[in-house]
A and B are shown apart, each in its own frame.
Chain A
Amino acid sequence: MSPLALVLLPTLLAALLIAVLRRPPEILALVGVSISVPASGMLLTMAFAGKGYTLMMPGLPGMPLLLVSDPLSAVLSVLVATVATLVMVHATGYMRKDGEKRRFFATMLMFVTAMQLLVLAGDWLTFLGAWELIGVSSYLLIGFWNRKPGVAGAATRAFLYTRSADLGLYLGVFVLIGAAGTSNIAATLTTFGTPALIGGLLLLLAAMGKSAQVPMQDWLQRAMAGPTPVSALLHSATLVAAGAILLIRVAPMLPAQTLVAVGIVGGVTTVVAGLVALAERDLKRLLAASTSAQYGLMLLAIGAGAPVVALLHLIAHAAIKSGLFLGAGVFQHSRGSTGFEDLAGAGREHPRIFAGFAISALALAGIPPLAGFFSKDAIIAATLAAPGGIWMAVLALAGTVLTGAYMARALALLWRGAPQKGESGDELQWMGLGMGVLVALAAGLGAAFPRMEWLLGDAPPVSVLAMFLGLGASLLGLALGWLVPGARLLGPLLPWARRGFAVGGGMDGMVLRPALAMAQACNAVERRIYDAVLAVGRHAMRLGRGTRATDEAGIDGFIFGLASATEAAGRRARRLQSGLIHRELALTIAATGIIAAALLVAPLIY
């Protein structure tokens, strides 16, 4: 069996088995995801040895489905498998008492399978398919507690908003396939000129939707209705990552103008979402805004022409953010809420969890020697090295300051306050185990970065200046966030940031309401057409009835009249035939007389 299949099948089969068997779902789920770890690890090992795999399956005529393992996809595959396994371990505890955990674990496995399919996709059809399956898996997971009010709306919103942006992927893929004449991703990357420009911008649109970039950032913060392990997964290595992964893959094709657009989107997002995070009053929503901001940094790196750097930050962020969410899940479990007001002092109840949370937070802020330091440093260096990229460097540094500020703010809010009675138990062990490994990764992953850079064949520029600037920005941010309340930091921006910097009413105002208005307008037209046709029908019926009336009075009348006249004539004629001999004889003689007279007279006339 191809190692590629070995990555995808365990999670898929586990999902199906959970649906069919009535065994404990968490065991099947854990077995499924943990098999995919060594399988994807094998892909990575072989990639280091310079060996790739390809698996071809029949798709559409002329467009076969391809799975490809190259260095990039192997790295991502390992990332997905690892984070998924650890989140699943955590979820074993988190979901322990949930009555519908079979559905939960089956959907999670489907989610992971779809993500693996995306990173291993070698053709656009598979990529697009995986992309949409990720969307629907997150719909099902965000809507997991679908009987609670508001949950269905949150799930619907998340799916609809990302699908609107997905149109960019559809169209971009059509442009690329049309230009290259093949659906093979690697082959379409040689596209240049106008198709590359337009295709690239369309793909950017899709990535903006999935990676929650400005102005399509607000769906992500609302997508918190699901269980916390879901957030941990979709904010780190899956749903949101898909957008950045798309851009990293097509980066070699993107012309300069498109790269600038990518950089602008990323830079603006990292600042805007950072400000939003400072204003948040809810831990999970803060982390969600931070996700947008960090993906903004990755897009900034891609815009600066350093996709490998973006990938490094994606990996570091995946480990960090999943750990943060799992920590948030523990706090939520003990306080029954994720609002900061309810969470005050929660950190003191679970000092070990809080320590892990703090390490991850510092890693995200970019404190050495944690993983985030290296990737963030590389991003700043890349923007400094990019020609004409000084504005990018400024935005990256601003993003770094904000990261430090909102993470320190979160730590402060969790730590300051009175602890309530801490609970510990079996569940907490599972949750702590999954989180612990992720925190260790967040701390130590940086050591592996040089190897990955070697594998991907692109060493980012080294810059002492960038290192000092970056570290300075991180420390400044941390200090601000710990010492100054977020509301004070934001000043006059606060109300605007609380609304998520929604422009024009956000997606609701710009897309949803116009669409509903359009639907009502079309429906009004529809009723008019319907009535018009019915009116035509009625007129036709009236015409028919009119014709019938004419028929009855006119033609029928004439014919029936004729018939009754004939009948009357017949009746009168019958009276002549009385059967009395003398009368008949008299009639005969009279008639004969008339005939004879006529015969006599006739020659005289002619």
Chain B
Amino acid sequence: MIPIVSLAVFLPLLGAFVLLALPRGSAALSHGVGIATSAVTLLLTLVMWARGVVPGGFAQVEEITWIEAIGAAYRVGVDGFSLPLILLTALLFLLSFIYQAKSGDRARSFVILMLMLETASIGTFAALDALLFYVFFEVSLVSMYFMIAGWGEEGRQRAALMFFLYTLLGSLPLLLAILGMFLASDPWTFDMRVWIETQPLTGLAGMLALVAMLFTFAVKIPAFPVHTWLPAAHVQAPTVGSVILAGVMLKFGTYGLVRFSLQMLPDAFASAGTVVLAFGVVSALYGAFVALAQSDLKRLIAYTSVNHMGYVVIGVAIAAIATDPVMRAIALDGATLQMVSHGLVTGALFFLVGMVKARTHTREMERLGGLLKVMPVLGWSFILFAFASLGLPGLAHFPAEFQIFLATLNVSPWAVVSILAIVVTAGLYLRAIALVFLGEPGAQWLKLPDLDRREVVVLMPLIVLTILVGIAPSWVLNVIHTTTAALAF
């Protein structure tokens, strides 16, 4: 059996090494290596998708002994939580490479950094060993730090500092929690499957480990009030960095919330569930309201991420509280699908903002206007994704949010107050559309070109998938549901 999962994880890294080994060539060569490597990686993840998942455990597991004495090993595999995210990751990286292909700004270093980041990202989702998970998790942070610091905009130093401060402080508690789980397991092991199976930490120790994990993941998600690094990072990050940050890396937090907090510490999570739920509710509402107050288009979209990821937190917390397995499965289905939808939709929105900025050299909404007439393809694409982001039925966010709110109302009715945010997001997106795209275009915009073929290629898969997930979510949900329906805790 070919180790497809490991290949998918390490192929990008291999690509990076190949690029390093090649004599310093043109930018086109670097981009070519990036696109080719990530395209093959996407194909590999499609093979993984075809192989599928199994109920009640992990599929496609690949294992190599590493440090036997402490039970650390190289272990990767997938289930219904991780497989959709891996597919999403591979797709967004490929599209990012295509988007970036025109840029000549230190292309070689950029591609190498991106390929490293791709390995770290897929690895984070595929790892079944806690040490391995932690290593991938940290490596991804470093890559992103360099991307913001090296390719960002004017204020990038401060943003990179903020990002690093948060993430440096943020991930230490997780390490402590991992060590706690390790010491409590008997015999000692870092095997996440064993931790999920036996749930080694209980009682006070379990609660402390949960709090530590929650801190790390809350920074990553990001949840109120430790979210302030996100808008700062997004505003300064290059377009591709924003796409990967929002589309892929925010999911590390919510994925960890499910994989570690919920699956390994369900009892502690159930008793602390209401607190987590409250943070989710506040994040969702707060993110929406702050987004409404923004005048910078990219910052606005960054804050809607706080809102959307707040829904995911709500879904996971509801799953932790719920006693009815049907409602728990509905909540987790919704939360996981929401991660995928957010990756598709927000990824596309950041691409679109990048395309607007590349033409107009501004993201201030008040200065733009009437762009729909000048760039109909760009404008209608933005309108489509804006409606997707505000949860319109037939587009990707609706089935996810429907399930999250359905479970919320039936498990913790008070938390459904967060549904007010869907009106606020509707308001802020319609306002953005009206300001940027409607009305009569200013004279300075009249000559601007619409999307070129490369940009259409970047957007088209996201458009198709956003509609496909919206109209027929079952092709993703069946994979997710295989795992959520078989959860036993």
Interface residues of B in 341-399 (CB under 8 A from A): 370, 372-373, 387, 392-394, 398-399
Q: How many angstroms between the C-alpha atoms of A59 and B399 in the bound complex?
A: 9
Determine if B333 and A522 form an interchain contact, defined as CB atoms under 8 angstroms apart: no
Determine if A167 and B420 form an interchain contact, defined as CB atoms under 8 angstroms apart: yes
Q: How many angstroms between the C-alpha atoms of A58 and B403 in the bound complex?
A: 15
A484 at the interface (CB under 8 A from B): no
Determine if B438 and A147 form an interchain contact, defined as CB atoms under 8 angstroms apart: yes
Known: A132-B398, A163-B423. 15 other contacts (CB 8 A): A60-B333, A60-B399, A62-B326, A62-B330, A129-B398, A131-B393, A143-B438, A146-B439, A171-B409, A175-B409, A515-B289, A518-B289, A519-B290, A522-B289, A537-B165
From known contacts A159-B426, A540-B165, infer whether A146 and B372 are also in contact, taking CB-CB under 8 Å: yes
**A 430-467 binary contact with B (CB < 8 Å = 1; else 0):** 00000000000000000000000000000000000000
* Min CB–CB distance B420 → chain A (angstroms): 7
A492 at the interface (CB under 8 A from B): no
Q: How many angstroms between the C-alpha atoms of A123 and B276 in the bound complex?
A: 32
Residues of A within 8 A of B485 (CB): 61
**A 380-395 binary contact with B (CB < 8 Å = 1; else 0):** 0000000000000000
A533 at the interface (CB under 8 A from B): yes
Determine if A133 and B289 form an interchain contact, defined as CB atoms under 8 angstroms apart: no
Determine if B420 and A177 form an interchain contact, defined as CB atoms under 8 angstroms apart: no
Q: How many angstroms between the C-alpha atoms of A159 and B398 in the bound complex?
A: 17
A192 at the interface (CB under 8 A from B): no
Interface size class of B (residues with CB under 8 A): 35 or more
Determine if A174 and B410 form an interchain contact, defined as CB atoms under 8 angstroms apart: yes
Among the stretches A47-55, A75-83, A149-157, A498-506, the one at the interface with B is A149-157
Determine if A529 and B329 form an interchain contact, defined as CB atoms under 8 angstroms apart: no
Determine if A167 and B422 form an interchain contact, defined as CB atoms under 8 angstroms apart: yes
**B 446-486 binary contact with A (CB < 8 Å = 1; else 0):** 00000000000000000000000000111001100100010
The 8 A-B residue pairs with the shortest CB-CB distance, nearest first, are: A129-B393, A523-B293, A519-B292, A178-B410, A152-B434, A522-B289, A152-B438, A58-B474
- With beta carbons under 8 angstroms apart, the residue of A151, A515, A522 that contacts B427 is A515
Determine if B430 and A159 form an interchain contact, defined as CB atoms under 8 angstroms apart: yes
Determine if A533 and B423 form an interchain contact, defined as CB atoms under 8 angstroms apart: no
B260 at the interface (CB under 8 A from A): no
16 contacts between A and B (CB under 8 A): A58-B474, A60-B402, A133-B392, A143-B438, A147-B373, A156-B430, A167-B419, A167-B423, A170-B405, A171-B419, A174-B405, A178-B409, A515-B289, A523-B294, A533-B228, A537-B162
Residues of B within 8 A of A58 (CB): 472, 474
Residues of B within 8 A of A155 (CB): 430
Residues of B within 8 A of A59 (CB): 399, 473-474
Interface residues of B in 404-459 (CB under 8 A from A): 405-406, 409-410, 416, 419-420, 422-424, 426-427, 430-431, 433-434, 438-440
Q: How many angstroms between the C-alpha atoms of A57 and B474 in the bound complex?
A: 10
B286 at the interface (CB under 8 A from A): yes
Q: How many angstroms between the C-alpha atoms of A58 and B471 in the bound complex?
A: 10
Determine if A519 and B293 form an interchain contact, defined as CB atoms under 8 angstroms apart: yes
Determine if A519 and B439 form an interchain contact, defined as CB atoms under 8 angstroms apart: no
Determine if B373 and A515 form an interchain contact, defined as CB atoms under 8 angstroms apart: no
Q: How many angstroms between the C-alpha atoms of A243 and B428 in the bound complex?
A: 25
Determine if A177 and B406 form an interchain contact, defined as CB atoms under 8 angstroms apart: yes
* Min CB–CB distance A169 → chain B (angstroms): 11
A516 at the interface (CB under 8 A from B): yes
Residues of A within 8 A of B289 (CB): 515, 518-519, 521-523
Determine if B405 and A61 form an interchain contact, defined as CB atoms under 8 angstroms apart: no
Determine if A522 and B423 form an interchain contact, defined as CB atoms under 8 angstroms apart: no
> Which of B289, B440, B472, B481 has most A Cβ within 10 Å?
B289
* Min CB–CB distance B470 → chain A (angstroms): 9
Residues of B within 8 A of A518 (CB): 289
B104 at the interface (CB under 8 A from A): no
* Min CB–CB distance A66 → chain B (angstroms): 14
- With beta carbons under 8 angstroms apart, the residue of B165, B392, B416 that contacts A171 is B416
Residues of B within 8 A of A131 (CB): 393
From known contacts A147-B373, A167-B420, infer whether A61 and B162 are also in contact, taking CB-CB under 8 Å: no
- With beta carbons under 8 angstroms apart, the residue of A60, A147, A525, A534 that contacts B439 is A147
Q: How many angstroms between the C-alpha atoms of A125 and B401 in the bound complex?
A: 12
B232 at the interface (CB under 8 A from A): yes
Residues of B within 8 A of A35 (CB): none
**B 155-187 binary contact with A (CB < 8 Å = 1; else 0):** 000100110011000000000000000000000
B3 at the interface (CB under 8 A from A): no
Residues of A within 8 A of B225 (CB): 529
- With beta carbons under 8 angstroms apart, the residue of A60, A129, A526 that contacts B474 is A60
Determine if B393 and A128 form an interchain contact, defined as CB atoms under 8 angstroms apart: yes
Determine if B430 and A61 form an interchain contact, defined as CB atoms under 8 angstroms apart: no
A164 at the interface (CB under 8 A from B): yes
Q: How many angstroms between the C-alpha atoms of A174 and B407 in the bound complex?
A: 8
A588 at the interface (CB under 8 A from B): no
Residues of A within 8 A of B399 (CB): 59-60
Residues of A within 8 A of B162 (CB): 533-534, 537
A260 at the interface (CB under 8 A from B): no
Q: How many angstroms between the C-alpha atoms of A147 and B333 in the bound complex?
A: 42
Determine if B370 and A516 form an interchain contact, defined as CB atoms under 8 angstroms apart: no
A: number of interface residues (CB 8 Å): 52
Determine if B438 and A526 form an interchain contact, defined as CB atoms under 8 angstroms apart: no
Determine if B402 and A125 form an interchain contact, defined as CB atoms under 8 angstroms apart: yes
Residues of A within 8 A of B330 (CB): 60-62
Residues of A within 8 A of B292 (CB): 515-516, 519
**B 211-233 binary contact with A (CB < 8 Å = 1; else 0):** 00000000000000100110010
Interface residues of A in 31-80 (CB under 8 A from B): 57-62
Q: How many angstroms between the C-alpha atoms of A261 and B232 in the bound complex?
A: 49
Q: How many angstroms between the C-alpha atoms of A521 and B293 in the bound complex?
A: 9
Determine if A132 and B423 form an interchain contact, defined as CB atoms under 8 angstroms apart: no
A160 at the interface (CB under 8 A from B): yes
A136 at the interface (CB under 8 A from B): yes
- With beta carbons under 8 angstroms apart, the residue of A167, A170, A537 that contacts B161 is A537
* Min CB–CB distance A598 → chain B (angstroms): 56
Residues of A within 8 A of B406 (CB): 174, 177-178
Residues of B within 8 A of A526 (CB): 228, 290
Residues of A within 8 A of B286 (CB): 522, 525
Determine if B403 and A136 form an interchain contact, defined as CB atoms under 8 angstroms apart: no
**B 310-347 binary contact with A (CB < 8 Å = 1; else 0):** 00000000000000001001100100000000000000
Residues of B within 8 A of A146 (CB): 372, 438-439
Residues of B within 8 A of A60 (CB): 330, 333, 399, 402-403, 473-474, 477
Determine if A530 and B232 form an interchain contact, defined as CB atoms under 8 angstroms apart: yes
Determine if A529 and B423 form an interchain contact, defined as CB atoms under 8 angstroms apart: no
* Min CB–CB distance A125 → chain B (angstroms): 7
Q: How many angstroms between the C-alpha atoms of A62 and B434 in the bound complex?
A: 39
Interface residues of A in 483-530 (CB under 8 A from B): 515-516, 518-523, 525-526, 529-530
Determine if A133 and B394 form an interchain contact, defined as CB atoms under 8 angstroms apart: yes
Interface residues of A in 318-369 (CB under 8 A from B): none
Residues of B within 8 A of A523 (CB): 289-290, 293-294
* Min CB–CB distance B352 → chain A (angstroms): 18
Determine if A156 and B393 form an interchain contact, defined as CB atoms under 8 angstroms apart: no
- With beta carbons under 8 angstroms apart, the residue of A128, A129, A174, A521 that contacts B409 is A174
Determine if B416 and A174 form an interchain contact, defined as CB atoms under 8 angstroms apart: yes
Q: How many angstroms between the C-alpha atoms of A60 and B426 in the bound complex?
A: 24
Residues of B within 8 A of A533 (CB): 162, 165-166, 228-229
* Min CB–CB distance B34 → chain A (angstroms): 33
Q: How many angstroms between the C-alpha atoms of A534 and B286 in the bound complex?
A: 20
Q: How many angstroms between the C-alpha atoms of A130 and B329 in the bound complex?
A: 25
> Which of A146, A178, A526 has most B Cβ within 10 Å?
A526
Q: How many angstroms between the C-alpha atoms of A171 and B406 in the bound complex?
A: 8
Q: How many angstroms between the C-alpha atoms of A40 and B162 in the bound complex?
A: 61
Residues of A within 8 A of B161 (CB): 537
- With beta carbons under 8 angstroms apart, the residue of A133, A160, A515, A529 that contacts B228 is A529
Determine if A156 and B431 form an interchain contact, defined as CB atoms under 8 angstroms apart: yes
- With beta carbons under 8 angstroms apart, the residue of A128, A160, A178 that contacts B402 is A128
Determine if A520 and B392 form an interchain contact, defined as CB atoms under 8 angstroms apart: no
